Amino acid sequence: MILFSVFSSIALVSSVMVIRAKNPVHSVLFFILVFFNTSGLLVLLGLDFFAMIFLVVYVGAIAVLFLFVVMMLNIKIAEIHENVLRYLPVGGIIGLIFLLEIFFIIDNDYIPILPTKLSTTYLTYTVYAEKIQSWTNLETLGNLLYTTYFILFLVSSLILLVAMIGAIVLTMHKTTQVKRQDVFRQNVIDFKTLSIAQKITQSDPK
């Protein structure tokens, strides 16, 4: 419970700092901190594999992409001159709606202030099936993903293929006048039989 409070409070504070930080790079760093704390929360839930995926994918890759975008945008320090209160009505209404929805979803037992449906909230139950045979996350995923849901698995590979090809097509711009080194061509030249002019033209095809 203490760990939960630590992780969730640090996550909340740093997610506020993502928005409020003046330097965009600092807000990306706070974003990474949010992900670290969220993966701590996932570990507390018992989802160890997903915590690892969170760190590997989000911190290792997505945060790097965010850093690239921030660096490319060429913003030195974000200008927060404008009045924050201007956006308060719209943002506040959206936040209130979100909070209400969360209150509807969450079981009333979790919030001690709200009137609870059951008076016996201290009763806990034990999942006895878990005591007999417990599978880790990895085994559960592995048993289902590659056989029962193999179509979704292959579709995900196709999505990754599309992402790969799309990224290459979007960013590749081959400039033709760049001199490239062709190692094999250089190696097969027989220098004894060539004149100097031929040597120059043969070793440099362009």
Chain residues binding other proteins by CB under 8 A are: 43, 48-49, 53, 56-57, 60-62, 64-65, 68, 71-72, 74-76, 136, 138-139, 141-143, 145-147, 150, 153-154, 156-158, 160-161, 163-165, 167-168, 171-172, 174-175, 178, 180
Q: Measured from the CB of residue 31, what is the shortest distance to other proteins in angstroms?
A: 16
Give the residue among 110, 91, 96 at the shortest CA–CA distance from 8: 110
The distance of closest approach from Cβ of residue 155 to other proteins in the complex, given in angstroms and rounded to an integer, is: 10
Q: Which is nearer to other proteins, 16 or 167 (CB)?
A: 167
3-state helix, strand, coil in the chain (%, to 5): 70, 0, 30
Q: With contact defined as beta carbons under 8 Å apart, do 191 and 199 qualify?
A: yes
Q: Which is nearer to other proteins, 102 or 178 (CB)?
A: 178
| Residue (64 or 189) nearer to other proteins, CB | 64
Minimal distance, residue 29 CB to other proteins, in Å: 14
CB neighbours of 137 closer than 8 A, spacing ≥ 6?
A: 46, 47, 48, 49, 50
Q: How far apart, in Å, are the Cα atoms of 67 and each of 32, 50, 63, 164?
A: 10, 23, 6, 20
- Give least dist CB 5 to other proteins, A: 17
Give me 18's structure tokens.
């993502």
Identity of the residue, 143 or 201, whose beta carbon is nearer to other proteins in the bound complex: 143
Q: Nearest approach, Cβ of 164 to other proteins (angstroms)?
A: 4
SS3 label, residue 182 = coil
Helix (H) or strand (E) holding 105: helix 88-105
Q: Which is nearer to other proteins, 61 or 189 (CB)?
A: 61
- The whole-angstrom separation of Cα 8 and Cα 4 is 6
The two three-digit tokens of residue 134, written as one number: 């417990």
